Each structure stands twice: as structure tokens, then as C-alpha cells.
Amino acid sequence: MPRLIKLADGVFDWADARFRPVGDDEPVPPGDVTVSFTRFMAEGEALLSGRALAVRVEPDQPVEDLAYDLHRVAAVALAFPKFGDGRAYTSARLLRERYGYTGEVRAVGAALREQALHMVRCGFDAFEPADGSTPEDWAAAAGRYRHVYQRAADARAPAFVERGNGA
Amino acid sequence: MYRYDAIDQDFVADRSREFREQCRRRLAGELTEDQFKPLRLMNGLYLQLHAYMLRVAIPYGALSTEQLRRLAHVARVYDKGYGHFTTRTNLQLHWIKLRDMPDILDAMAEVGLHAIQTSGNCIRNVTADPYAGATAEEIDDPRVWSEAIRQWSTVHPEFSYLPRKFKIAVTAADKDRTAARSHDIGLKVVRGADGAPGFEVMVGGGQGRTPYLAPTIREFLPAGRLLSYLEAILRVYNRYGRRDNSYKARIKILVAALGAEAFTKQVEEEWAKIDGPKVDLPQAELDRIRGAFVVPPFEALPATSAAFEAAKTSDRAFARFARNNVHAHKQPGYAIVDISLKAPGETPGDCSADQMDAIADLADHYGLGDVRVTHEQNLVLPHVKLHDVHHVHAALKAIGLATANIGLVSDIIACPGLDYCALANARAIPIAQQIAERFADQDRAEAIGEMKIKISGCINACGHHHLGHVGILGVDKKGEEFYQLSLGGSGAEDASLAKILGPALPADKVVDAVEALVDAYLGVRRENERFLDTLRRVGPEPFKEAVYAEAH
Amino acid sequence: MKALTANDLLTGDVVFWNDGRWVGRFSGAELFDDGPADEALVAAEGQPTVVVAPYLIDLQDTAEGPVPVSYRERLRALGPTNRTDHGKQAEGGADVELLAHASGAARSTGRLDLIKRR
């Protein structure tokens, strides 16, 4: 079973990748799988029964369309076709902050440790690193800044709260 | 002025440490150049023709004298003893070594300077009116809002990998000294119907390959809702800005493609879903920021100064300086003093380390320690007592910075161009120097009046040529440098985009062409008409004839 | 005829390939015909911790020796025209004279290829 980096209770560690990616034209095997957003929108009900399901969302796909089913989706994999494509940061924040999603939000594709801080702050808690990095690398990158200036999907208090100027 | 507290200090120290580590990984081969490049760009470090170039952030164009002296030190120790002020009120150092960068960032962090997000596909330095806090024209101090935006936009986790760069300007007076409408977001502080403070929000301006003036998408945004509204705009852009073609990736393209109305609708819908109190600054924080910009300890002085008047009478050069470089201050007995970095023959916008130190001394002695940078590549001492202005002038003269040409034909904006920049197609600096030298006669320059020439060495328009009364764009025609003239642009409150006059001219014909434009203007102008006004009245034809008759 | 240029990773200096090493002066640049030029480029691209963005530049022959065809490359080999006390031109020498007085120009195909590759 391939593994990925998981962030749980503030700790980065290896974990099983758990979901087997299944292509749009493949028959879906038993067990936990990842399907594309397109396939999920077409077959959702059928896929959900008897398994834990992950949905892979490409940057141009509206994560809002998952809203009604999110409580039944075990994980949402947000793709970074290139690490410079920052759309998944918005998708992650919307999942966490607008839809209250508490399942796994996973970074796939060009997920690099140098973007660990941004990903964690936007609500990602699982990472398939594309650069051979380790949980220690991600912890180091995500921990580089003692302060942040704005609120995001994480629980970090922004600077103005630290200053005693806000709730 | 805003002084870093412990949190701000920690932040730039952490940033510096982060970049030190990223450099180490790059040099060890753990990061490829493709992976490293966006990281170094987000710390303002470009690889240019001759060396690395570092773009230091000067938030809303405001510097303390301690910071200015530190820039002089960095220029001396790590560069070739000078820096270049840019059209986004930052400072560029053109001869930097990557191996010195960690130490440079540390040296700057000590005084609250950094190069965070001065490049890259992220929110860039927020610019503001350089006369903030000094001019009677403003209805509020735009630096308050610029500082709020600066903090909110710094290492914003959602908006650090945008489709392209993002530039914001804040103005608070009817006279626009920021070129707000040419920005991705331009904010003008206004008062609502009940006198409450707020912003006119303009989105979708930009220069470069396809210039646009930003439409106003909201006439009035309550001031306290600023950050949540910006978040809505940035989110719409992050999601829907094009990522397939970097020449079509700015927000101006999105706004033009959707139309202002449809774009506005998307922003307003997103904004309605944002939990305002999570994003907008609490009043206590706004008050804290505002507190940094309180009115300095001005003395109670008479509105006129005998010493100032006497100096004007006795010294022609000072009288000229007073006419062109000195502006009214909101406090009686004070003045705003512009320092021109456009001495004819010099490189526009360049300032030596010695000059920076001297300006810092002047600011400390005569200027309440406050220095500003304008988007026209000049500096400002915003708070000088009228009766000290002639002392300031004398000191500026001693360091070669007393050129009395603000806003005149020799006050030229020019990007570094092909002499320095890897993106350029032609040189801009020699053209600027030649024009300035042709019009070095100060009586003549004053007789011509306000005339803004802006020169870019390539289509990226860092010289703001789209906003020039005369815009000049360097192009490469079969390897030779040619220059395309445009007329009628303006970066002020009467914003307009310059229109191409005719075929590009070879380098050796440009100065004559500019002179032909000037002569054509002088031939038909009415009283009190600036070049731009005459052009708008008579149209481009007389100018076109003058230039192309000359060129043959 | 071509030469191979890049910028030094640590310093940003303009450098030229010479038989597996990098030199600072154009006068020290190895001159190539097309085939060997491509091989050298591949080798240079295998030095990512030494240089950034290596690319080939076109040269033209003059009586005094080869010069880069493109004005941009002559500027890189010399330094900025507004500060002749900065850059390699400040060091003086016969090759500086040659570069400074070379005329004629064309786009550098090596540079265009680099832009296209990106």
C-alpha cells in the first residue's frame, strides 16, 4: 500500500494512502477508491455504498458541487497540475470554511514541501509529496513562521489577535 | 510612520531564515531552478542580464531614515554603491549575488525592510499617495489602509500562487499621484452619503501588452469591509483568471472578458458568502495602525516664511526650485519638497549610497525623519518647514539632487531597459538621457510646462509608457533598437491610455521627434494649456505631421 | 558559429563555456560549430548547481575575431551602456574594444529558443 504524509493533531507522519485511484473508464473494484469529480457527479450514489470514497477534484472543477454529498465522502483530493496552480488553495478553504468539511483534504499532483505552510493553512491534512520529501521536511516547512497575518482554514490566530486587538 | 512591533520583526526574521534555507537547498541541488525560481521571485530576486537584481519593498513608498541608511549600506557593501527607485516605489539593486542574499535579507530585516512579494504571482507592494499625511487634499491617510492591506496580503496562504502578479494602489485625494486606475485594484478613499469613510473600488486596470483602465466596480465600500471585499476579488481571480497563457492571465483580462457587470456580480456574490468578522480587521487593530500615522509634532508657524521669500528673491535657482519642487502642505508654515532623481545626464531614478545617506541626514534635520518614494521615480521630504527649504535646497545642490524639474519635460520615467533587464528589447536609459540633455535648459523646460515622458524598454511597460503624455516603447526591429511613440496617456485622476502615433523610429531620430512634438505644442497652445491639454483639444494629427515630417 | 553562455548560480555573473569550465570573459569562450554546440549545451544543462539557464548564442566573424550577433549578447559580454565603469567592460582589454565597436545585429536564436523552451 503506497503511503502519504498525514497531518493529525499537529503532527506530520506517514500513513497509508488508503484509496486506490480508479480511472473513469475502469470498473470500480471493491474497497476504498478515489474517483474523479466527473465520475462522482455521474455515479455518486452507486459508488458510495459499501466503501469509503475519495473524490479527486481538478483545479477548474467547482468544489461547491460536492457540497450536498461531502458528509459521505471520506476524502477530497485536490490536484495541483503544477505547483504554481494555486486554485486548490481556494478549493481547500471553501471545503473547510464554507462547507465545514471534516474529512480528509489531500494534496495530490505537484505537492512540494515548500508550499507546506500554505497548504496546511488552507486546510489540507494529507499530502502526496512529489519531491521525495518526508514528514519531517513538511513539519519544518509548515513551522517556519511564528506568526501569521490573516485568518485561514487553520486555527492559527492572526497577528492582530496576538496583539490583543481582536477576538 | 509605522514601526514594526515584535510580531512584524519576527516575521521578517522568519522570512529571511526561510530563504536562507531555500538557498541552501538550491545550492545543494535539492531544489531545481524551476522549483527555486518562484521562491526567489517571492523574495524579489531576479536573474537579469549581468547579475541578480534584488527588488526591495518600500511599502506605500514610505521610508524611515534608519531604513534609508540601511539601504545605502546594503548598496555599498553588496552592490555597486547605488540603487534604482522604481515605478512601484520599490528600490532595485542591480548587481546582487545569490550567495549574499541571506545576509542581505538579515541586514534589512533588522530595520524592518524586506523583499517579500516584490515579484512572483502574488500580491505585490501596495503603493499610496507619496504626499500622504502632508497634503490637505486627502480625506484620510491612505497609508493606514495600505498598511492594513500589506499585512493581510503578506504570505496569504490562499493567494500566493495566483495566475499572475497583482498590484494594488491606494489614493485618498482627488489628485491621483498613484496611477490608481492602471492597477489590478485601485482604491480611492471617499466619503459616503452620511460622511462615513469608504472606498471607490476599481478593478481590472493594467499596462503591459494589453493596457486597460480599471472600471469602478463599486462606488462605495464601507471602510471597515475592505479586507473581506479584497478577499472576494482575489478569490474570484484565483479561481477564474486564466492559467493557460501568461500573457492573458492578469485580472484585467478576466474583467474585460466577463464585462465589468458580470465580474462585479461574481465578486459581490462571493463577498456575501464571506464571514466578514473573520477577515475584516477589528476596530482596535485599525486604530492601532492609524495611531502609527498620527500627525507629527508640527510647530505652530505662520503661513509664510520671510526666509523662504527672501531666498526666492535673491537666488534664481532657488526660486525655480520653489516653483517646481515645492508643494503646499496642510500645516501652515510647512511644505512638501520633491527631490528629483532626474538630473540631466544621470540615469533616471538612480540614487547613490552617498546621496541616500545625505537625504537621510536632511530628513532627520529638516524633515521629521520621513522620506517617500513616488511612482515617477523621485523622492519626497513630506514635512519641511518653509523657512528650512532653502537650507534643504543648498544641501541637495551639494549632492547633485537639486534639479528643479518635477513634472517637466526632463523629469522622465525610464525603466532600466536593455542595459540591465533580461526582458527588454531595447534600451530606455540612453533615450531618457538624450531627451533630458536636449531640454536641459531650465528656462525652456519651464516654458514648456508639465510634460510627462515615460519610456519602457519592452512591452511589459515597467516605464509606464501607456500613461505618458508622450510614451516611448523600445522595440527590436531586426536586432536594431527602434522606438514607438504614443501620445495622450495620463496616470493622474484624468487617466487615459496613450495612443500610438505612427511607425517606430530609429534610436537616433527619437530626440528630434520629441523636440518636434514640443514645438508643435508650443505653436498651438492656448494659455494655461499643458501639452496634454493641447493634445486633447487638437488631436494627434498636428503632432503626427510634425514628427513624421521631421523624420523624413 | 556559436558560443555557450549562462549566468553563474552563486554570483549571477555572465559566464561562457570553455571545455567543461566557465570563464567570465567572452574572449575566453569556446567557439562551436552546430553539432558540438548542442553537445556542450547538454553538458552545461547537467550543471544545475553551477550555472542557471545555459543557452547558445550566434556569433559572426569580423576581421578582429568573432562577436555575438545580437546586441543583447554584446551587452551581456560588456556591461550596461549607462555605466561603463560597471561590468566586464570596466576591466578593459582588446575583446572589450572589439565588442564595443561591433555593429549590425539580429535576434539571438539561442535566446529565442530558450524563451520558447520555457
**Residues of chain B found within 8 Å of residue C80, distances taken between Cβ atoms:** 49-50, 419-420, 429
- Residue B385 CA to residue C92 CA, distance in Å, equals 49
Asked if the structure places residue A74 within a domain, the reply is yes
Contact state of B29 with C80 under an 8 Å Cβ cutoff: no
Per-residue pLDDT of B476-518, as tens digits, reads 998 899 999 999 999 999 999 999 999 999 999 999 999 999 9
pLDDT at position C118 is 45
Q: What ipTM was reported for this prediction? A: 0.98
User: Which residue type, as a one-letter code, is found at position B457?
Assistant: G
- Residue B341 CA to residue B84 CA, distance in Å, equals 9
Interface of A with B in 126-145 (CB under 8 A): 131, 144-145
Asked if the structure places residue A142 within a domain, the reply is yes
Q: Are the C-beta atoms of B75 and B354 separated by less than 8 Å?
A: no
Residue B258: all three cell numbers together: 466577463
Which residue does chain B place closest to C84, by CA atoms?
A: B419
Helices (H), chain A: 37-48, 87-93, 116-122, 135-142, 159-162
- Closest of B220, B224, B255 to residue B237, by C-alpha: B255
- Residue C114's pLDDT band, with cuts at 50, 70 and 90, is low
Average of pLDDT values for A130-155? 97
Contact state of B480 with C105 under an 8 Å Cβ cutoff: yes
Strand partners, C6: C15
Residue B494: all three cell numbers together: 484624468
**SS3 at position A163:** coil
Question: A24: exposed, middle or buried (C-beta count within 10 Å: 0-12, 13-18, 19+)?
Answer: exposed
Q: What pairing do the DSSP bridges indicate for beta strands B379-385 and B370-373?
A: antiparallel
Compute the 3-state secondary structure of chain A and give helix, strand, coil in percent, each to the nearest 5. 35, 25, 40
- Give CA torsion, residues B213, B219, B225, B226, to 10 deg: 20
- Closest of B94, B479, B458, B475 to residue C68, by C-alpha: B479
Angle between helices B531-538 and B541-551 (to 10 degrees): 100
Residues belonging to chain A: 167
Contact state of A86 with B121 under an 8 Å Cβ cutoff: yes
Residue B214: all three cell numbers together: 480599471
- Closest of B465, B466, B455, B453 to residue B521, by C-alpha: B453
Q: How many CB atoms lie within 10 A of CB A38?
A: 14
pLDDT at position A1 is 76
CB of B78 less than 8 A from some CB of C: no
- Residue C100's pLDDT band, with cuts at 50, 70 and 90, is confident
Chains touching B by CB (3 or more pairs below 8 Å): A, C
R_g of chain C, CA atoms, integer Å:
13
Q: Are the C-beta atoms of B183 and B214 separated by less than 8 Å?
A: yes
Contact state of A86 with B35 under an 8 Å Cβ cutoff: no
Counting as low any pLDDT under 50, the low residues of chain B are 551
Contact state of C105 with B50 under an 8 Å Cβ cutoff: no
Average of pLDDT values for A32-56? 93
Which residue does chain A place closest to B120, by CA atoms?
A: A84
- Closest of B329, B271, B281 to residue B145, by C-alpha: B281
According to DSSP, residue B507 is labeled G
Helices (H), B193-335: 226-240, 251-258, 260-273, 276-279, 283-292, 306-314, 316-325
Q: Are the C-beta atoms of B438 and B409 separated by less than 8 Å?
A: no
Centroid of chain to Cα C42: 16
Q: Phi and psi dihedrals of B512, rounded to 5?
A: -60, -40
CA distances B266 to A64, A134, B262, Å, are: 15, 40, 6
Q: How many domains does the structure of chain A reveal?
A: 1
- Residue C111's pLDDT band, with cuts at 50, 70 and 90, is low
How far does the CA of residue C35 sit from the closest CA of chain B (Å)? 25
| Candidate from B18, B158, B281 with C-beta closest to A93 | B158
Helices (H), A94-130: 116-122
Asked if the structure places residue A62 within a domain, the reply is yes
Q: Are the C-beta atoms of B255 and B184 separated by less than 8 Å?
A: no
Range of the domain at A134: 4-162
Domain at A23, CATH number: 3.20.20.70
Contact state of B158 with A114 under an 8 Å Cβ cutoff: no
Q: Kindly report the CA angle at B414 between B409 and B419, in degrees rounded to 5?
A: 135
- Closest of B287, B295, B330 to residue B144, by C-alpha: B287
CB of B50 less than 8 A from some CB of C: yes
| Candidate from B50, B99, B479 with C-beta closest to C14 | B50
Asked if the structure places residue A113 within a domain, the reply is yes
User: Which residue type, as a one-letter code, is found at position B493?
Assistant: E
Chains touching C by CB (3 or more pairs below 8 Å): B
Which helix (H) or strand (E) segment holds residue A111: the answer is: strand A104-111
Helices (H), chain C: 34-45, 71-78, 94-101, 109-117
Residue-wise burial string across B291-307, b where 16 or more C-beta atoms lie within 10 A, e elsewhere: eebeebeeeeeeeebee
- Closest of B508, B506, B487 to residue B498, by C-alpha: B487
Centroid of chain to Cα B109: 22
| Candidate from B22, B158, B287 with C-beta closest to A152 | B158
Asked if the structure places residue A167 within a domain, the reply is no
How far does the CA of residue A153 sit from the closest CA of chain B (Å)? 10
- Residue B9 CA to residue B194 CA, distance in Å, equals 39
How far does the CA of residue A120 sit from the closest CA of chain B (Å)? 9
Contact state of B11 with A147 under an 8 Å Cβ cutoff: yes
Q: Are the C-beta atoms of C90 and C84 separated by less than 8 Å?
A: yes
pLDDT at position C34 is 79
- Residue B416 CA to residue B377 CA, distance in Å, equals 12
Question: B178: exposed, middle or buried (C-beta count within 10 Å: 0-12, 13-18, 19+)?
Answer: buried
C-alpha distance across the termini of chain C, in Å:
24
Asked if the structure places residue A49 within a domain, the reply is yes
**SS3 at position C59:** strand
Q: Are the C-beta atoms of B381 and B65 separated by less than 8 Å?
A: no
- Closest of A41, A123, A132, A45 to residue A88, by C-alpha: A123
Q: Which of B5, B161, B279 to mutate to test the interface with A (most CBs of A within 10 A)?
A: B161
pLDDT at position C109 is 52
- Residue B109 CA to residue B8 CA, distance in Å, equals 10
Q: Are the C-beta atoms of B62 and B1 separated by less than 8 Å?
A: yes
How far does the CA of residue C52 sit from the closest CA of chain B (Å)? 7
Q: Are the C-beta atoms of B414 and B455 separated by less than 8 Å?
A: yes
Asked if the structure places residue A110 within a domain, the reply is yes
| Candidate from A121, A131, A163 with C-beta closest to B288 | A163
CB of A110 less than 8 A from some CB of B: no
Q: For chain C, give me the number of helices (H) and strands (E)?
A: 4, 5
Strand partners, B447: none
pLDDT at position C94 is 83
How far does the CA of residue C5 sit from the closest CA of chain B (Å)? 11
DSSP line for B119-164: SSSSB-PPEE-TTTTT-TTBSS-HHHHHHHHHHHHTT-SSSSS-SS
Average of pLDDT values for A142-157? 97
pLDDT at position B314 is 97
Interface of B with A in 332-391 (CB under 8 A): none
User: Which residue type, as a one-letter code, is found at position B34?
Assistant: D
